Amino acid sequence: MAERMSRHTPRRPWAAAITAVAALAIALTGCVGIPTSGQVTVGQALTQQDAGDFEFFPLGPAAGADQEGILEGFVAAFTGSAGDYGVARQFLSSGFSDQWNPRSNVTLRTNAQRYVTVDETSMEYSVNAAATVDSVGQFRQANAPAPLTMHFSFVMEDGQWRISSAPDGIVLADATFRAIFDTHTLYFLDPTGIRLVPDRRWFPAGTAALRVVSTLLDGPPAWLQGAARTAFPEGTRLASPGVDVQSGVALVDLSTEALAASSSERQMMQLQLTASLTNVPNIRRVSISVGDTPLQVPEVASSAPQTNPQVDARALAFDGTAFGFLVRDQVAPIAGLSQKVAQVRPLAATLSVGADAAAVLGAEGAWVVRTGDTPSTLLDTRQDLVAPSLDDYGYVWVASRRDASVVRVYDYAGVGVDIRTGLSADAGLSAIVVSRDGARVAILASTPAGPRLVVSSIIRDANAAQVPTALSAPVIDASTETGAALDATWVDELSVAVLSGAGTQRDVTLYEVGGERSSLGQPGAAVSLVGGNGEAGLRGLSESGTILARSGNGWTDTGIEVAFLGTQR
pLDDT in tens, 108-166: 999 889 999 999 999 999 999 999 999 999 999 888 889 999 999 999 999 999 999 99
Q: Are residues 450 and 329 in the same domain?
A: yes
Q: Is 88 contained in some domain?
A: yes
Q: Are residues 249 and 338 in the same domain?
A: no
Q: Is 309 contained in some domain?
A: no
- Other beta carbons within 10 angstroms of residue 441's beta carbon come to 26
Name the pLDDT band for 79 (thresholds 50, 70, 90).
Answer: very high
CA angle at 206 for the pair 204 and 207, rounded to the nearest 5°? 65
Check residue 279 and give its pLDDT: 85
Q: Is 303 contained in some domain?
A: no
Mean pLDDT of 155-180: 95
Q: Are residues 463 and 425 in the same domain?
A: yes
From residue 129, alpha-carbon distances to 35, 38, 41, 46, 170 in Å are 8, 12, 12, 11, 12
The span from the CA of 265 to the CA of 234, in Å, is 12
Mean pLDDT of 18-30: 34
Across-strand partners of 497?
489, 510
pLDDT at 2 over 60: no
pLDDT tens, 455-512? 999 999 988 789 999 999 999 999 876 789 999 999 999 999 999 998 888 999 999 9
**Contact status, residue 55 vs residue 214, Cβ threshold 8 Å:** no
From residue 101, alpha-carbon distances to 418, 457, 508 in Å are 44, 31, 40
Check residue 54 and give its pLDDT: 59
The span from the CA of 463 to the CA of 467, in Å, is 8
pLDDT tens, 238-263? 998 889 999 999 999 999 999 999 99
Name the pLDDT band for 26 (thresholds 50, 70, 90).
Answer: very low
User: For residue 278, what are the contacts with CB-CB under 8 A and spacing of at least 6?
Assistant: 307
Q: Are residues 282 and 420 in the same domain?
A: no
Q: Of 146, 181, 216, which one is at a domain's C-terminal end?
A: 181
Q: Are residues 386 and 411 in the same domain?
A: yes
Q: Are residues 259 and 329 in the same domain?
A: no
pLDDT tens, 38-69? 343 343 333 333 334 557 889 999 999 999 99
Percent of the chain scored above 90 by pLDDT?
Answer: 77
pLDDT at 15 over 90: no
Task: State which residues form the domain around 287.
Answer: 190-294
Check residue 7 and give its pLDDT: 33
pLDDT at 435 over 60: yes
**Contact status, residue 32 vs residue 82, Cβ threshold 8 Å:** no
Q: Of 133, 156, 181, which one is at a domain's C-terminal end?
A: 181
Q: Is 310 contained in some domain?
A: no
Q: Is 345 contained in some domain?
A: yes
Check residue 502 and give its pLDDT: 82
Closest CA to 269 of 284, 286, 283, 255: 286
**Contact status, residue 24 vs residue 15, Cβ threshold 8 Å:** no
Q: Of 181, 209, 233, which one is at a domain's C-terminal end?
A: 181
Mean pLDDT of the chain: 89
505 torsion bin: left (phi>0), alpha (psi -120 to 50), beta (else) = beta
Q: Quote the strand ranges of 255-356, DSSP E.
A: 285-290, 293-294, 316-318, 323-327, 330-333, 346-351
Residue scoring higher pLDDT (290 or 142): 290
Residue 347: phi, psi to the nearest 5? Answer: -115, -20
Q: Are residues 69 and 109 in the same domain?
A: yes
Across-strand partners of 509?
498, 519
Check residue 299 and give its pLDDT: 87
Q: Are residues 195 and 331 in the same domain?
A: no
Q: Are residues 115 and 197 in the same domain?
A: no
**What's at 489, amino acid-wise?**
T
Check residue 202 and give its pLDDT: 96
Q: Are residues 10 and 155 in the same domain?
A: yes
Q: What is the DSSP string of 112-134?
A: EEEEEEEETTEEEEEEEEEEEEE
Mean pLDDT of 81-85: 89
Q: Under DSSP, is residue 352 helix (H, G, I), strand (E, B) or coil?
A: coil
Q: Is 9 contained in some domain?
A: yes
From residue 314, alpha-carbon distances to 520, 533, 568 in Å are 21, 10, 10
Mean pLDDT of 226-235: 96
Name the pLDDT band for 213 (thresholds 50, 70, 90).
Answer: very high
Q: Which helix (H) or strand (E) holds 142?
A: strand 139-157
**Contact status, residue 204 vs residue 181, Cβ threshold 8 Å:** yes
Instruction: Give the torsion sign (CA, 383, 389, 395, 397).
Output: negative
Residue scoring higher pLDDT (216 or 48): 216
Q: Is 308 contained in some domain?
A: no
| Number of domains the chain is built from | 3
Burial class (CB in 10 A: 0-12, 13-18, 19+), 545: middle
Helix axes 208-217, 263-276, angle to 10 degrees: 140
Q: Is 306 contained in some domain?
A: no
**Contact status, residue 384 vs residue 401, Cβ threshold 8 Å:** yes
Burial class (CB in 10 A: 0-12, 13-18, 19+), 417: middle
Residue 143: alpha-carbon gap to chain centroid: 15
Mean pLDDT of 362-389: 96
Burial class (CB in 10 A: 0-12, 13-18, 19+), 391: buried
Check residue 300 and give its pLDDT: 82
Across-strand partners of 357?
370
53-62, 200-209, 408-417: which range is least confident on average? 53-62
